[in-house]
Structure formats: C-alpha cells, structure tokens
Amino acid sequence: MNAEDPTPDYPKLPLERFLDLTASREPAPAGGSAAAVTVALAAALTGMAARFSDDHLAEADELAARADFLGEEASGLARADAAAYARVLEARRSPRDPELRRRRVGEALSEAAGVPLAVAEAGAEIAGLAARLAREGNPNLRGDAVCAALLAEAGTRAAVTLAKINLSAAGLYDGCVERAGELARTAAAHALGAEERADVANVLQGRDRSTRPPSREGRRQGGRR
C-alpha cells in the first residue's frame, strides 16, 4: 500500500486479515485476488516439492526457481486485480454521457480481463511443474505436488471464468477467449495427470486411500535419505 495506490499488498497480510477483507462488504479483494493467491500457494507447494527432489531430478533447482518466480508474479497479480476492478467502478461513475461512459467501462473491463488471464497463464504453468514433480520427484512429497497441481488448476479455472465474464461484458470476443479456454484445459490435464500418478503409486505400494499419510516431518526426512 502507498499514497498513490491504497490497495493493500494482499499476500503480505496476515491470513486472517486477508480472509476478513475478502468476506467484508468491500468490493475488493474478490474472486480475482483469491484466484491469484491460490495460484501463489500452489507455486509455494511446488517450490517445496522441487527442493526436496534434488536427489530425484537433475532440474530440481531450476523447477524450484521457476515456481518461485511464478509465485511472485501471482502474488503481485492479487493486488493488480483489485486495482483493475477499482478502475471499472470508477469508469461506471464517469460522466453522464452514455456513450463516453460505455467506452470507458469497456476499456476498464478489457484491462481488468488481462489480470486474470495473466493469473491463468501462471497457474497453467505451475500445474505442469507440479504434475512433473508428482511423476518424477521425491515420492515422499508426491501428495504435496498433487495438491499443488489441483490448487493451480482451481486458480486457473477461476481466473479464466472471470476473464471471460469481463471480456463478454466489454463486448470483446477475440483470441483472448480462445486462449483462456486453452489455459483451463491445459491446467486440467496437468492436474488429472498428477492425480492419476498418485493413484497408480498408491496401488503399486499397496496403500488404501484411507491410510493415514506420513507426517510432514516424516516426508521431509524421507526425502533426505
């Protein structure tokens, strides 16, 4: 938050404060910021899984670095989404000239659609990184990698939906709509692949789904052996 832009830096807030703001009777943070934070959380889990996979994947450090980069990007987009939505509200309060107001609102909505599209781009890539870690990374962190892929898919799908709503409201039906659909399908495919890998691993290891998973400490210690 600064004097020019009072929008809080949501990922830096205490979790309880962010949740309270999201639940409040304020226009932001809302769906777009929540989607961005979800993708950022998926990136953090992906980075953790990668760091504990250095004995399993030669590119583990690179995967962790890429996850960190995408997480930082998604974190910044949480604030950007709130700021973009504020501009939409401001445009709707613009001069009474209906044509001028329509044009300003359309421009603001088009800009607002760009933020969730960027969230979806990051989310789809994170889903791919997490799916790879579920397949090839430390098996003790497989559950975390699968969770990361599922969270990334959820954030991507939410962001894609919001982008489509804004593009439709702005009367824009260009390549952005097709790109949004492609990102949602990509993230879904990665998440499904990660889930299937976990299911296969459970069968091979003779584990029942109701079996209590090892503790985080056990997973981490196992990853160091």
Q: Tens digits of per-residue pLDDT, 89-128?
A: 777 776 677 776 677 776 777 777 788 999 999 999 999 9
Q: Model's pTM, two decimal places?
A: 0.81
Tell me how far apart the alpha carbons of residues 194 and 151 are, in angstroms, rounded to a whole number.
12
Cβ atoms of residues 88 and 16 within 8 Å: no
* Each residue's pLDDT tens digit, 174-213: 677 888 899 999 999 999 999 887 765 554 455 444 444 5
What domains does the chain contain, in order, with CATH numbers?
28-223 (1.20.120.680)
* Each residue's pLDDT tens digit, 137-154: 999 999 999 999 999 999
| 206 phi-psi bin (left φ>0, alpha ψ -120 to 50, beta other) | left
| 29 phi-psi bin (left φ>0, alpha ψ -120 to 50, beta other) | beta
What does each C-alpha distance from 85 to 3, 68, 107 come to in angstroms?
Answer: 18, 26, 12
Between residues 217 and 89, which one has the greater pLDDT? Answer: 89
